[in-house]
């Protein structure tokens, strides 16, 4: 067997202020010392602010996906992903890449998928509003009830997969309902889901999330996939 490969995918739309921070923090040397061959892939979702150039300057591969939406970006990346382990995290510097080695350990210990849970971990002041925490807990409860699979943070953007598990996920979500669809597909396919408590940081730039609109899309996705 050869060296196991790790692919870190970062979807990005106009994140020039933070994409460099995220790429600098990915523990590439630590992963290499642990015996992995890591790569980073930024999926540029039609940025107009220099995100693509910063990513290239930092040594990342860049895949262009002009169809807007996080779901569209990740569908494209997953189709072209080829690695033993695949990670997804946001480009806004809220999720510390330093958790990747510990999430890898969860995958190696009999799990197909792992999430980084903000709600089971710690959160910087102001990183998530009280309304969003309540909404996330309600959506998480709904997902667990519908699918009979436990999780503590349905809407986290921090995911890890065994590479072979990606071929079982049938995705159509275009936007921020992606995570709900990932959870539904993991449950429907009987994949083993683990989680790791993580630290969640405050986003230094304005959020693109629209709580009520995106929350409604998540509910529709959960019911649509279940029934």
One DSSP character per residue, 54-75 reads HHHHTT-EEEE--S-SHHHHHH
* 184-209: pLDDT as tens digits: 999 999 999 999 999 999 988 776 66
Domains of the chain, first to last: 5-226 (3.90.550.10)
Per-residue model confidence (pLDDT) at position 81:
85
Residue 175: per-residue pLDDT? 81
Q: What is the mean pLDDT of the chain?
A: 94
3-state SS string over 147-210?
HCCCCCCCCCCCEEEEHHHHHHCCCCCCCCCHHHHHHHHHHHCCCCEEEEEEEECCCCCCCCCC
Q: What's the pLDDT score for residue 30?
A: 98
Q: Specify the pLDDT at position 208.
A: 63
In terms of pLDDT, which residue wins out, 81 or 9? 9
State the pTM of this model.
0.94
State mean pLDDT over 37-60. 96
Looking at residue 190, its pLDDT comes to 97
pLDDT on residue 205: 76
Query: In the structure, what pLDDT confidence band is assigned to residue 1 with cuts at 50, 70 and 90?
Result: low
Q: pLDDT tens for residues 89-143?
A: 999 999 999 999 999 999 999 999 999 999 999 999 999 989 889 999 999 999 9
Whether residue 214 has pLDDT greater than 80: no
The answer to whether 214 and 192 have CB atoms below 8 angstroms apart is no
Strand arrangement of the beta sheet that strand 159-162 belongs to = 61-64, 37-44, 5-12, 85-88, 159-162, 113-123, 193-200
Cβ-proximal residues to 56 (8 Å cutoff; 6+ apart), any chain: 62
Percent of all residues in the chain with a pLDDT value above 70, rounded to a whole number = 97
What's residue 209's pLDDT?
Answer: 62
């Amino acid at each position: 067997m050869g060296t196991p490969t790790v692919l870190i995918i970062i979807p990005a739309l106009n994140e020039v202020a933070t994409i460099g921070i995220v790429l600098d923090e990915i523990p590439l040397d630590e992963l290499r010392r642990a015996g992995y061959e890591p790569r980073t892939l930024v999926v540029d979702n039609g940025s107009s602010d220099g995100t693509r150039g910063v990513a290239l300057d930092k040594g990342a591969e860049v895949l262009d996906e002009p169809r807007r939406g996080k779901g569209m970006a990740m569908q494209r990346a997953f189709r072209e992903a080829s690695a033993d382990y695949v990670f997804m995290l946001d480009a806004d510097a809220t999720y510390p890449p330093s958790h990747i080695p510990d999430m890898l350990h969860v995958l190696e210990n009999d799990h197909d998928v792992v999430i980084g849970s903000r709600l089971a971990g710690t959160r910087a002041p102001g990183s998530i509003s009280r309304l969003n925490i309540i909404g996330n807990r309600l959506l998480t409860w709904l997902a667990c009830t519908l699918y009979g699979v436990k999780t503590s943070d349905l809407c986290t953007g921090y995911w890890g997969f065994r590479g072979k598990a990606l071929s079982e996920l049938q995705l159509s979500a275009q936007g921020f309902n992606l995570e709900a669809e990932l959870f539904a597909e993991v449950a429907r396919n009987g994949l083993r889901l683990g989680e790791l408590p993580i630290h969640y940081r405050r986003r230094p730039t304005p959020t693109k999330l629209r709580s009520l609109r995106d929350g409604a899309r998540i509910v529709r996705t959960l019911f649509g996939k279940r029934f």
